[in-house]
Structure 1
Amino acid sequence: MDDKSATFVVEGEGCEEDVLKWYYHGRSGRPNKNSGELSSKVKKYLSIKGWVFRYALKNGKKELQYQSPHGEVYNSLRMACKSYIDQGLGEGRMGNVDPKQPKKRKCLSIENQPLLKSVQSESPERRNKLKKQENRVVKTSKRVREGPVSSRNPRTVLSLLIDNNVVPMLGNVYYRNKTGPPLMKGRITRDGIQCHCCSKVFTLTAFEDHAGSTNHRPAANIILDDGTGRSLSDCQRQVSDSMKSTTTTLRTRSVVEIPKTVKAANSIRDENDGVCSACCGGGDLICCDYCPSSFHMKCIGLKEVPDGDWFCPYCCCGICGIGYVRDRSFRSCHQCELKFHGDCLNSKKPSEMKTEKNTLLLCSQNCERIFYGLQKLTGKPILVGNNLTWTLLTPDHRAHGGHGMKSSAKKENQCKLRAALEVMHECFEPSESVETGRDLIEDVIFGQVSKLKRLNFRGFYTVILEENGDLVSVATLRVYDNKVAEMPLVATRFKHRRRGMCRVLVDELEKNLVKLGVEKLVLPAVSTTLETWTNNFGFSCIPDDERSKLVQYSLLEFQGTITCQKLLK
């Protein structure tokens, strides 16, 4: 080999999936009609990771060689890919990837580019009402993972207990009887309880049926056969308490470590929001004189900055449209969350529901029907096919109109919400809110509240689809009134994709919304999934003039997404 060689760097982008495809397809010897394009993507990706490509002379001929960041030289692209894979895909993230199902991890980052406009011609009073955000990048975007992180193990309550070292794998359990010996014995697996008598694996509910019980409380009556007397409900409670303790510790540390300047920048108590509450974009914003919300004038249909006090759509009466100037004794509907003057509200024939802590206002018969309809659905699995169940979940503080769940049901509900969060994280990159420093998806699923309307997630439900106790698909849902409901996040586990599971979940969701009298379902779609939602699920893009009419509902939006709607029949 001649020492003289020419090095070059390939510019562009690729992903880890391309590396895996090239190596495993090449090893199998199967032809690939797109091999030239795939080879280019692999070289681009390796170049980004620090690999150097060199043409060197060997036996009088030029030969392309591949040099890793550590100095190893390979004579073929496949061997270079093998080296990269052996090193754990560059950063030790290879995990337990099945060669037949290569890891696919491509992130679509949709981050805000500030809109800068001149306001020099505005009067001082109007300039003070405008908030100009320069060089600001907002990180509350929805970034999609398009490949498996770990899709081997089912997401069940038992797998959650095993992963948290609360119950042992293959640990012995029995279904207890109130009197007499145990009805049935088995052992714990990730998929369910394996029965001792027939060796079949059952979900918790099916194991209870197999034992001949009609108590409908499987977690409370399945006991660990280790002398402790703990039920699976006790184990769920232990996991929940541990998660709360960890969260409290992390938040305490973050408060200690965050500099004062950062805390001041993230505070939303006294300052107006730095992005538009309607589109999440930056630029010149008009600020509400009562709440922290800010908006682009075009997003709310304003042609110029108004003189005097200005109140955003969230701070105006849902009937007369007048803000706090006229009457500060506004009341909010518990379901649609719109505000009303007392005298305006009388025309809607509202109803009130007393709870243990307060009185909830339901502004109309439509909101009353939707509120009680959702309460009846919550926590009750609905059979939607062979071994498929559809369940509506909610954070425990909204359950049963504020009266709360029983302790055992509450712990099981929390475990299922945690499992749903894991599915979301399998499909979406965790997205940290700039203002709160918390994971946006977790805040949605657990209904975190905020004074800032666009970060107030009270009212969100989580819809799950399970197959034999294995969590398959997850969606988040918020119903405002009979006019609109939103479904901002939908995720299907990678190993269950292309089986129509998302279709089953959405169809059942739409059917129940129709029963509640809801007219429209709205969701934000990234460009790569827009065609799927429009062609396969019957959604259509919302025109700008119609989108501005929905601003009062504070729909959860992500920068760069396209708002779509479906009229429900």
Structure 2
Amino acid sequence: MADKPAKSAKFVVEGEACEDAVFRWCNDACTGGPGKKTELTSKAKNQLSAMGWNLWHAPKNGRLELRYQSQQGKVYYTLKAACRSYVDGISGAGGEERAVADRNLEPKKPLKRKSTSDGSVQPRVRKGEKKLRPGAGREEIHKAAANLEPKQPLKRKTLLLENQAFYESFRPQPPKREIELKEKENQIKPRLIKRSSIRIREDPVLNSSHRNPKTILSWLIDNDVVSMLGKVYYRNKVGMPLKKGRITRSGIQCDCCFRVFALTAFEAHAGSRNHWPMANIILDDGSGRSLSDCQRHLRNSMTRSKVESPVNAKKDDSETHKSDDVCSVCCDGGELICCDRCPSAFHAKCVGLKEVPDGDWFCPSCCCGICCVGSLSDDDSLRACQQCERKFHLGCLMLKESNEHSGKNNWFCSHSCESIFSGLQNLMGKPIPMGNNLTWTLLKAVACSNDDADHASGLDSSAENHSKLNVALDAIHECFEPSNDAYTGRDIVQDVIFSRGSNLKRLNFKGFYTVILEENDEVVSVATVRVYGKPVAEMPLVATRFSYRRRGMCRILVGELEKNLAKLGVQKLILPAVAGVVDTWTTKFGFSQMTGDQRSEFLQYTFLDFQGTIMCQKHLKMEL
């Protein structure tokens, strides 16, 4: 074939390479609409080019036609011919494999019959048939004759089916031993139990916003509530503007000096001492809305969409009707004992049982913390502590009369739980300066049905609290891969941050608080904590943003948390550590790995645990 590659540039095909497209062209199987056929053509050309073929345009009859030259120098005029040559080259240019396939398509010759010594004809025994014994009866002879009926002639397979089978032969097949093991495993455990797991991101996600500031303003911008570089002003008590500026992700850029200030710093720059910048920074767009109004509007819209979602309603209803699939202690599946009062399930050994008990059985969370007796009825004699969430009979505590002044939703089993609850409430929503423009704040999601109460009830129930919790959620998602629970399908991290409850004890996160460390109003480190009572607290999630690592931010966050917990009387802090960072927690933060016996001391508390984590603990000492 006489055409030679021209000196012009090599023909470049855009699109991905695909060997399957070459086989489809070879087999006349390039079907579909014009767009689909063009896509397969592009993939086939790109596959040939990737395998070393030269493609160029050659002039013919006043126009250019594409030529295809193989690695051996042979030139083809059509894509179909080139694809056939490529397929033949893979199979040894129509060698042994194709010859075997062709021989299999030839019609089989009829079977010859053997003659016996007496001249009768004995049918030839086919593979899988039984040979007639001497002196066989009439019925056996008739059965053998039925097997001698002429077989239907084999239909010759088309070239398409032949090449498809040939193409499938190149795909790697798993070893036979591996297949046998998988079949055996499926017989032993037909349904795979999915445990909740969480993994640390080693590097930030590509095209993510990990370099953008995590502030309330950036969250409002991302949700299209305020616009980037939107005009604002700080008003005084009579509503007159003191300073004007523009919104950025990091803060407010002042019009007079062009410096970017954090919200509190912009308030001080305007000469005000109200200490409420969100309520006094007004959008200069004629609406008269403050940043607090913007936060309140976004919070209400997010709450409405969650309530109106039929998916969430269905998942919430399902929790009351089915039992859990994993143990609430070790978070693993297997042979479980189900509680007769709640959906929780446990391994017998995880709750200290040697065998499955007879009759009704109640988990430690559903039993009285003193007499260890539970009940199927929802009577008022068994009440849960507001702080430690343990249940007690009032008669067992002998505190019925002294606690009658506390409402049913605000009852405490002891004075220590009441003091811890009061101490956490006093800390909540109040930024603690840590130096170097750092502030430490304890937050908790609190439902608020009256919008007018937001402004007066404090940060714990305000829209600003909701905004900071969403910013903290984004910071944790930057550091950890998403983790959805197999039981509810919901994001575990989101449920923890917003303190969402559940009938299932291991998914009941009502007692969780969120701790944030901010630098100039930007969230740099986040942790979640739940205090069960005077003895113990847990800290299952700790995250520091990538751009702020190796600056001691996590140490500052955890150190201030430990100091405040010790002041409240907490003696031990529990942490589920990912295997890759256990050494960091044990060598630099003073934690130690828990033994099985130490873990069994806290069966009445349901700690948040993940697959592959190692439970660690640290004894807290109050500073003198």
TM-score (norm 1): 0.72
Q: Does 1:452 align with 2:491?
A: no
What RMSD, in angstroms, separates the aligned Cα atoms of the two structures? 3.2
Q: Distance in 1 between matches of 2:372 and 2:482?
A: 38
Q: Distance in 2 between matches of 1:68 and 1:524?
A: 52
Matching residue of 1:184: 243
Q: Does 1:280 align with 2:331?
A: yes
CA contact (8 A) 1:267 1:435 kept: no
Q: Distance in 1 between matches of 2:366 and 2:321?
A: 16
CA contact (8 A) 2:341 2:376 kept: no
Q: Distance in 2 between matches of 1:336 and 1:323?
A: 18
- Post-superposition Cα deviations, 1:131-157, rounded to whole Å, max 9, x if no partner, equal x98532314211221211332111100
In structure 2, relative to structure 1, the CA distance for the partners of 1:453 and 1:180 (3 Å cut) is closer
Matching residue of 1:386: 436
CA contact (8 A) 2:195 2:486 kept: yes
Identity, % of aligned positions: 59
Shift of residue 347 of structure 1?
Answer: 5.7
- Post-superposition Cα deviations, 1:274-311, rounded to whole Å, max 9, x if no partner, equal 11011110001112222221111121111222233222
Q: Does 1:230 align with 2:292?
A: no
Matching residue of 2:59: none
In structure 2, relative to structure 1, the CA distance for the partners of 1:514 and 1:254 (3 Å cut) is closer
Q: What 5-or-longer segments of structure 1 have no aligned partner?
A: 1-48, 52-66, 76-115, 119-131
Q: Does 1:137 align with 2:193?
A: yes
In structure 2, relative to structure 1, the CA distance for the partners of 1:369 and 1:145 (3 Å cut) is same
Which region of structure 1 is more displaced relative to structure 2, 363-372 or 159-168?
159-168
Q: What is the letter of the counterpart of residue 393 of structure 1?
A: L
Matching residue of 1:15: none
Alignment of 1:461-480 (within 5 A): 461-480=513-532
2:540 aligns to what SS in structure 1?
Answer: coil
User: Pick from 366, 372, 383: which aligns with 2:416?
Assistant: 366
Which region of structure 1 is more displaced relative to structure 2, 162-171 or 216-225?
162-171
- Post-superposition Cα deviations, 1:110-131, rounded to whole Å, max 9, x if no partner, equal xxxxxx9x9xxxxxxxxxxxxx
Q: What is the letter of the counterpart of residue 252 of structure 1?
A: P
Matching residue of 1:84: none
In structure 2, relative to structure 1, the CA distance for the partners of 1:464 and 1:347 (3 Å cut) is same
Shift of residue 319 of structure 1?
Answer: 1.6
Q: What 5-or-longer segments of structure 2 have no aligned partner?
A: 1-16, 20-42, 53-184
Shift of residue 247 of structure 1?
Answer: 3.2
2:529 aligns to what SS in structure 1?
Answer: strand
In structure 2, relative to structure 1, the CA distance for the partners of 1:352 and 1:559 (3 Å cut) is farther
1:179 aligns to what SS in structure 2?
Answer: coil
Q: Distance in 2 between matches of 1:464 and 1:565?
A: 21
1:309 aligns to what SS in structure 2?
Answer: coil
In structure 2, relative to structure 1, the CA distance for the partners of 1:546 and 1:50 (3 Å cut) is farther
User: Pick from 477, 488, 494: which aligns with 2:546?
Assistant: 494
Q: Does 1:323 align with 2:374?
A: yes
Shift of residue 164 of structure 1?
Answer: 1.5
In structure 2, relative to structure 1, the CA distance for the partners of 1:533 and 1:332 (3 Å cut) is same
User: Pick from 285, 291, 307: which aligns with 2:342?
Assistant: 291
Q: Distance in 2 between matches of 1:180 and 1:339?
A: 52
Q: What is the letter of the counterpart of residue 441 of structure 2?
A: T
Q: What is the letter of the counterpart of residue 470 of structure 1?
A: E
Q: Distance in 2 between matches of 1:460 and 1:69?
A: 59
Q: Distance in 2 between matches of 1:74 and 1:510?
A: 62
Shift of residue 173 of structure 1?
Answer: 1.1
Q: Distance in 1 between matches of 2:363 and 2:467?
A: 38
Shift of residue 363 of structure 1?
Answer: 1.1
Q: What is the letter of the counterpart of residue 243 of structure 1?
A: M
- Post-superposition Cα deviations, 1:46-79, rounded to whole Å, max 9, x if no partner, equal xxx999xxxxxxxxxxxxxxx999747499xxxx
Q: What is the letter of the counterpart of residue 321 of structure 1?
A: C
Alignment of 1:44-123 (within 5 A): 71=47, 73=50
Higher relative contact order (CA 8 A, sep 6+): 1
User: Pick from 208, 217, 237: which aligns with 2:276?
Assistant: 217
Shift of residue 407 of structure 1?
Answer: 7.0
Q: Distance in 2 between matches of 1:317 and 1:398?
A: 32
- Post-superposition Cα deviations, 1:503-549, rounded to whole Å, max 9, x if no partner, equal 11000000100110100110111111111111111111111011011
In structure 2, relative to structure 1, the CA distance for the partners of 1:506 and 1:348 (3 Å cut) is farther
User: Pick from 545, 561, 572: which aligns with 1:509?
Assistant: 561
Q: What is the letter of the counterpart of residue 144 of structure 1?
A: I
Matching residue of 1:54: none
In structure 2, relative to structure 1, the CA distance for the partners of 1:246 and 1:325 (3 Å cut) is closer
Q: Does 1:397 align with 2:454?
A: no
User: Pick from 569, 576, 587: which aligns with 1:535?
Assistant: 587
Shift of residue 254 of structure 1?
Answer: 6.7
CA contact (8 A) 1:349 1:365 kept: no
Matching residue of 1:301: 352
Q: Distance in 1 between matches of 2:278 and 2:420?
A: 30
Q: What is the letter of the counterpart of residue 427 of structure 2?
A: L
Q: Does 1:162 align with 2:221?
A: yes
2:241 aligns to what SS in structure 1?
Answer: coil
2:618 aligns to what SS in structure 1?
Answer: strand
Q: Does 1:552 align with 2:604?
A: yes
CA contact (8 A) 2:18 2:46 kept: no
1:310 aligns to what SS in structure 2?
Answer: coil
- Please tell me whether Structure 1 or Structure 2 has the larger radius of gyration of its CA atoms: 2
Matching residue of 1:252: 310
Matching residue of 1:194: 253
2:564 aligns to what SS in structure 1?
Answer: helix
Q: Distance in 2 between matches of 1:351 and 1:160?
A: 43
Shift of residue 326 of structure 1?
Answer: 11
Q: Distance in 1 between matches of 2:245 and 2:537?
A: 43
Matching residue of 2:138: none
Shift of residue 405 of structure 1?
Answer: 7.2
Q: What is the letter of the counterpart of residue 573 of structure 2?
A: L
Size of the alignment, in residue pairs?
441
Q: What is the letter of the counterpart of residue 320 of structure 2?
A: R
- Post-superposition Cα deviations, 1:205-230, rounded to whole Å, max 9, x if no partner, equal 11112222121211000011111111
Which region of structure 1 is more displaced relative to structure 2, 232-241 or 388-397?
232-241
